[in-house]
Each structure stands twice: as structure tokens, then as C-alpha cells.
Structure 1
């Protein structure tokens, strides 16, 4: 049984009562704090149980394994980022882009171990962590496309241009959290301006995808 099947098997009993649902959510909240700046390998199940002030068996009951617990924590914290990125429809397009990039940087800054795991692949070659990473990438590409072009169903060239920018942001953000020499506001503005460059390159290759005026000016 793989980890997805294990988690699915655990969910029905975890959802049996409101109390168990709340307890599971509480354990995830605790785990987010524990793993925010500590890598997966650095914490044993005994460490987790001791710091969370719970019996180790309770974590196994809800999540089946340490890895299951860790993946549930990453999924939960990333869901906040994706939900936030997809909101703000009332904002002007470039304001929404600024907010999305800022929220991405805030997530990386405050969840460094989880961010490194997602971007770098997690525990060894972890297909599920890669899937989470790909989901974040696609959510951000969709947000950028909606803001820049008014739709998410964009042509392959435009999608690849935005995806290439997102992948470059991952690498730059990894370096930034390791060497936080730039204030977050400066880092955000730098990324916004490089996004403008990516959009202008997309327009040059496919004139149907016009660069929004603020990005065209580099504002």
C-alpha cells in the first residue's frame, strides 16, 4: 500500500467525528511549526511526539507514518499559498501579481524547510512531493495568466514562458532564504520586473499575447 492509499485509509476514521477532525487539524498545525525550519530527517517520531506533547501512537493513528504526517503538513501549508494566490479577483491584474509574488516569498521565508523540500524534491526522489510542487507551479502560472491575459487557457508558448519564470523564481528564492541579503520588498520588485521581461519575450514570439502596460513599462 503506497502513502496515498494509506492516507485515504486513515481519513474515514479521522473524519468519524468532529472531535477527530479537529484533532487531526491540530496535529497538522503543530507539525507546521515543528517542520517550518527543521528538515524531515532531523526529527524522529519520538522527537515529534515529545515536542507536540502527544503520544506517538496518536500520530500513527491519523497519518500512518512519519512520511504520511509530513506530506499532510506540506499539503496543508501549500494549500494556503495556492488558495491565497487564486483569490483577490477584485484587484487590478498587476496588483494581484504583486500580491501573489509577495505571498510566495512570505511562504518560503516562514516555512523554509517545507519550501526546500517542495522545490528540491523532498525525501529522496519523492513523487508525491514532486506532485505538490507541480501543483504549486501550475497554480501560480494560472494566476499570472489570468492577471496578464484575462484567461488561464493560454497557448503552449505562453505557458512555457511563464513556467520558465516560475522555475527561475524557485531557484532564486532558495538562494534568498539561504542568504537573505535583500529585503523581501526588494526581492519582490526584482521578481516582478523579471516577470515583465518574460512577458515581453512571450509577446515578441507570439504577438497575440500582449504584455500588460505596467509590465511593458517595467513599473
Structure 2
């Protein structure tokens, strides 16, 4: 039986919805259980589907897991992409806040992205590296107005981002949750974002010393200004 165009479109849309539902279920499952501890039978049972459907959409458990990681990365990149119409400095602040917002509300997915997920799986690590490149490029565009970077400048920003990853992992570890309590004195997202912006400012000044063609944005420009950075922490204006 031949399907008309409307029927074909409806079938495709239902297929896309079902695939998205399976990915959403997988994100919840892998948030609480390690990759090796979940079988396709377990996944199918939790999702309420026949395991053949998992194979139909994702070929294998690994394919399913990679689709979940890619979906998480796409969401993170979309959140930190920023608004191109904003001034560069404000775009940087929004990028950092969006990054922390994602980590705060998607802790398991964030850990998977940053740590590489399944052991030393090369494909998962490649996905992680791609999101790092996008984040470094977004910061460079906000700071310098372009994404291309000389090697020394890129190394410095990669170093800053590595620090951000470690700090963020420690921060979300103190959020508390099921069976745990929040660490007393833990900074909120605004306070942590202000600290990371100040650290970025210091990194940009170091870059300027070594790469004069990459001058740090003026200290008076929005969030790169000293007072602006400290305001969320100290309450000063």
C-alpha cells in the first residue's frame, strides 16, 4: 500500500517523537546506572517497549548511548551559544551562565560529556572534544570578535576551560540530591559565574602579554570590568 505525502510525513514525525522519547528515557536511566550495568533488556523494560525497537532506532546499546550523549551535547551547545546580537562581553557572561545552568540541571549528562562517559570510548571522547572546541570558539568570539585563535591563545583558553570543567564538577557534586545534602556555603550560580568570568579576564590579560594581536577587552566593558564581576559576590554596585 502506497502512502501519500501527508501519511509519510505523519509516519516520520511519529518516528522522530518515539526516538526522542527513547533518548529522554535513556538519559534518566544512565543518570542513575552505569553503562555496563544496563542491558538492552533492562532499557527496553524501563522504556516499556520491545528491545527490537532499540535496535531499530540505534542499532546497538552503544549506538543508543552515543545518541544520548550527542543529544546532551546539542542541548549544552544550544544553551551556551549566546545571542549574536549582544555585545561581546555580555555574550561571554551569558555563555558561562548557560554552561553552569546546564550543569546544574543536568548533572549526570554533564559528567558524561566532560569525563567522556564510557571508559576510553574514542567516539564519546570525540563528541566531548567537539563541544570543548565549540565552547572555546564561543568565548573567543565574545572576547575578540572572531573564532580563530593563534596557538598560544588557544592553549590558554583550553587551560581555562579545563579549570572550569574541574570547578563545575566539584560544584555540582555539592548540590545535594537523593540521599545527599547540599554542601554548606556552596556558591550559587551567579557567584560561581562571576568568579569564572574574573578568571577568564585574568587569562585574557595573560594572552595579551604573549599574543599582542589578541588584546584583552577593555576592563570597563560590561562583565569584564572589575566592579561588575564582583557585584554578584560582594553585593557592591
TM-score range, shorter chain: 0.7 to 0.9
Q: Which moved more, 1:25-34 or 1:173-182?
A: 25-34
Residue 120 (str. 1) matches residue 115 (str. 2) = yes
Pair 192,66 (structure 1): closer, same or farther in 2 beyond 3 Å: same
Higher share in helix: 1
Higher RCO (CA < 8 A, seq sep 6+): 1
Residue by residue over 1:81-132, the C-alpha shift from the partner in whole angstroms, topping out at 9 and shown as x without a partner, is 2133334001121221111111111222222222222222221111111111
**Cα RMSD over matched residues?**
1.9
Q: CA deviation at 1:42?
A: 4.3
Q: CA deviation at 1:134?
A: 0.7
Match of 2:155 among 160, 164, 180: 160
Q: Which residue of 1 aligns with 2:211?
A: 206
**Correspondences of 1:146-185 after superposition (within 5 Å):** 146-180=141-175, 181-185=186-190
User: TM-score normalised to the size of structure 2?
Assistant: 0.79
User: TM-score normalised to the size of structure 1?
Assistant: 0.85
Q: Which residue of 2 aligns with 1:45?
A: 40
Stretches of structure 2 that go unaligned for 5 or more consecutive residues are 1-10, 176-185, 230-237
CA–CA distance in structure 1, aligned partners of residues 157 and 164 of structure 2: 11
Q: CA deviation at 1:163?
A: 1.1
Q: CA deviation at 1:216?
A: 5.4
Larger radius of gyration: 2
Q: Which moved more, 1:96-105 or 1:47-56?
A: 47-56
Q: Which residue of 1 aligns with 2:235?
A: none
Retained in 2: the 8 A contact 1:148–1:212? Answer: yes
Aligned residues: 204
Match of 2:105 among 106, 110, 122: 110
Pair 36,96 (structure 1): closer, same or farther in 2 beyond 3 Å: farther
Q: CA deviation at 1:66?
A: 1.6
Pair 104,36 (structure 1): closer, same or farther in 2 beyond 3 Å: farther
Retained in 1: the 8 A contact 2:144–2:214? Answer: yes
CA–CA distance in structure 2, aligned partners of residues 84 and 179 of structure 1: 22
Residue by residue over 1:137-181, the C-alpha shift from the partner in whole angstroms, topping out at 9 and shown as x without a partner, is 110111111111011112111111111111111111111111242
Q: Which residue of 1 aligns with 2:86?
A: 91
Q: Which residue of 1 aligns with 2:126?
A: 131
